[in-house]
């Protein structure tokens, strides 16, 4: 097998892993009422089960990134896949709610190890700067593709067989990844290995977990409810303690200056608002079609098939466009297009038809989101030293997870202020559209660098340096 063929195979394997890690977040979204009926869950049980995977995934990503930089991408990837596969089997066979909940939490922990490790291996597969940028431009759209696939397939599979069969996907991918990972480069860290900042890891994990749970709980309870403000205050205190501890740490888990880079910060903001907008679309339109229009879960999943098709097509185009025009313009353009799609959905009314009322927005939104994610992935990971690839990937994926959590909570709270349910949905879509438009302006205002230049120009500069 040639080096180029091996790199393509390795990237394809890692890309499937990344997509399935996000796919696994959404597989219970549509069939959650079926699970609740089977196990006799009340509102609190449903809330915790729906948030469980994302809680451990998002809160452990920084630790996963540090372990990757310390022990090497392939080793941590194999560990994460083993945990994910074992936990997925436990989910499929769960005899009751406690086992299912614990298994979902464990799934998220495995994903938090595998996600940054996969990026570290990609960095080794493509050592040349231009090749790595091209790979990351494609990588950026894999998460939203995985989330879309999970939302589309979950309703259909649950309606035809059982929700338990959905966990066959992460099991099979984990097994395939473990079987073929020996062919991947080891991605062992060169030089001094970073210390394991256990205090910082504990504070960050607990803080993100508590704050994320509070934001999720706010969609079911009022902000004045102790179940919301208690975890939220605790999370904020823990995160402030984490920030203070990192300033004093000799080898911090998250160096204070890492997020000070304007391009990286703007890219992470792009990831958060775009992920929030896409998550909002799935949640609100699923509620609208099933509760307001009386559609079945399977029909609701089918309504998102054009969304998935547009996402696949735009995802294939986003990478080459990012390479040709640079990540800045592609990110700004993608944000503007995605915001336009949300703006179209802001016209939602109780009698909106699917072909003219929903479909245009469901086509424009994914087209823009794929471009925004592709460009943002390059901006967020560009210029990072190889020994910090795991850190960059961990931060990128954390933004991907926190965007839907925090953004969805805020937008759902805004929707609840309207007396009309559908009117509230429309206001939430409009607010999300404004957020994407403002972020597009911020990205467009970024200073141009050689990273933004077309690949042909970059290659000329590299050959003459």
Q: What residue has token string 């403002």?
A: 438
CATH number corresponding to 3-181+253-458: 1.20.1250.20
Give this prediction's pTM. Answer: 0.84
Interhelix angle 97-125/73-93, rounded to 10 degrees, is 150
Local structure of 5: helix, strand or coil:
helix
Cα angle 402, 75, 384 (rounded to 5 degrees) comes to 55
CA-to-CA dists, residue 173 to 5, 7, 55, 294, 417, angstroms: 21, 19, 22, 35, 42
What is the residue-level pLDDT of the chain in tens, covering all 465 positions?
A: 444 556 788 898 999 999 999 899 888 877 888 899 899 988 778 888 988 998 899 899 999 998 998 888 889 999 999 999 999 999 999 999 999 999 999 999 999 999 999 998 998 898 888 888 888 888 887 877 888 888 788 877 877 888 999 999 999 999 999 998 888 887 666 666 777 888 888 999 999 999 888 888 887 777 888 888 999 999 999 999 999 998 888 888 888 788 888 889 999 999 999 999 998 998 899 889 988 998 887 788 889 999 989 998 998 888 888 888 889 999 999 999 999 999 999 999 999 999 999 999 999 999 999 999 999 999 988 778 777 888 888 888 888 888 888 888 888 888 888 989 999 999 999 999 999 999 999 999 998 765 555 554 333 333 333
Secondary structure of 48-83 in the HEC alphabet?
HHHHHHHHHHHHHHHHHHHHHHHHCHHHHHHHHHHH
- The secondary structure of residue 382, as a DSSP letter, is T
Rounded Cα distance between 214 and 223, Å, is 9
CA-to-CA dists, residue 40 to 32, 34, 104, 163, angstroms: 12, 10, 18, 16
The phi-psi region of residue 448 (left if phi > 0; otherwise alpha if psi is between -120 and 50; otherwise beta) is beta
């Amino acid at each position: 097998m040639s080096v180029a063929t091996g790199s393509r195979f390795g990237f394809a394997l890692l890309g499937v892993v990344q997509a399935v890690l996000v796919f696994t977040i959404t597989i219970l979204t549509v069939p959650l009422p079926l699970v609740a009926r089977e196990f006799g869950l009340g509102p609190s049980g449903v809330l915790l089960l729906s948030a469980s995977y994302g809680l451990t995934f998002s809160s452990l990503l920084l630790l996963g990134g540090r372990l990757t930089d310390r022990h090497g991408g392939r080793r941590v990837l194999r560990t994460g896949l083993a945990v994910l596969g074992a936990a997925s089997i436990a989910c499929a066979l769960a005899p009751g709610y406690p086992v299912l909940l614990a298994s979902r939490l464990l799934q998220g922990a495995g994903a938090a190890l595998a996600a940054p490790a996969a990026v570290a291996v990609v960095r080794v597969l493509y050592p040349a700067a231009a090749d790595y940028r091209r790979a990351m431009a494609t990588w950026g759209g894999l998460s939203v593709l995985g989330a879309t696939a999970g939302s589309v397939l979950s309703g259909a599979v649950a309606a035809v067989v059982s929700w338990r069969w959905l966990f066959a996907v992460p099991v099979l991918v984990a097994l395939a990844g473990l079987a073929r990972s020996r062919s991947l480069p080891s991605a062992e860290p060169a030089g001094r290995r970073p210390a394991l900042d256990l205090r910082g890891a504990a504070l960050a994990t607990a803080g993100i977990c508590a704050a994320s749970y509070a934001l999720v709980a706010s969609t079911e309870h009022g902000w004045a409810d102790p179940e919301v403000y208690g975890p939220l205050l605790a999370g904020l205190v823990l995160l402030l303690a984490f920030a203070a501890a990192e300033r004093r740490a000799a080898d911090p888990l998250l160096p204070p200056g890492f997020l000070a880079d304007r391009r990286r910060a703007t890219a992470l903001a792009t990831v958060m608002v775009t992920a929030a907008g896409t998550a909002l679309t799935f949640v609100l339109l699923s509620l609208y079609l099933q509760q307001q229009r009386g559609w079945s879960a399977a029909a609701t999943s089918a309504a998102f098939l054009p969304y998935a098709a547009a996402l696949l097509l735009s995802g294939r185009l986003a990478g080459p466009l990012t390479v040709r025009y640079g990540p800045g313009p592609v990110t700004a353009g993608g944000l503007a297009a995605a915001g336009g799609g949300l703006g179209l959905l802001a016209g939602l009314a109780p009698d909106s038809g699917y072909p003219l009322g929903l479909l245009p927005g469901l086509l424009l939104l994914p087209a823009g989101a794929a471009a925004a994610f592709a460009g943002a992935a390059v901006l967020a990971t560009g210029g990072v030293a190889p020994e910090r690839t795991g850190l960059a990937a961990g931060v990128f994926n954390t933004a991907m997870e926190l965007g839907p959590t925090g953004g969805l909570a805020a937008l759902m709270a805004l929707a609840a202020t309207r007396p009309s349910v559908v009117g509230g949905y429309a206001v939430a879509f409009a607010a999300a559209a404004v957020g994407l438009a403002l972020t597009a302006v911020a990205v467009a205002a970024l200073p141009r660098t050689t990273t933004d230049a077309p690949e042909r120009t970059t290659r000329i500069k590299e050959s003459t340096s």
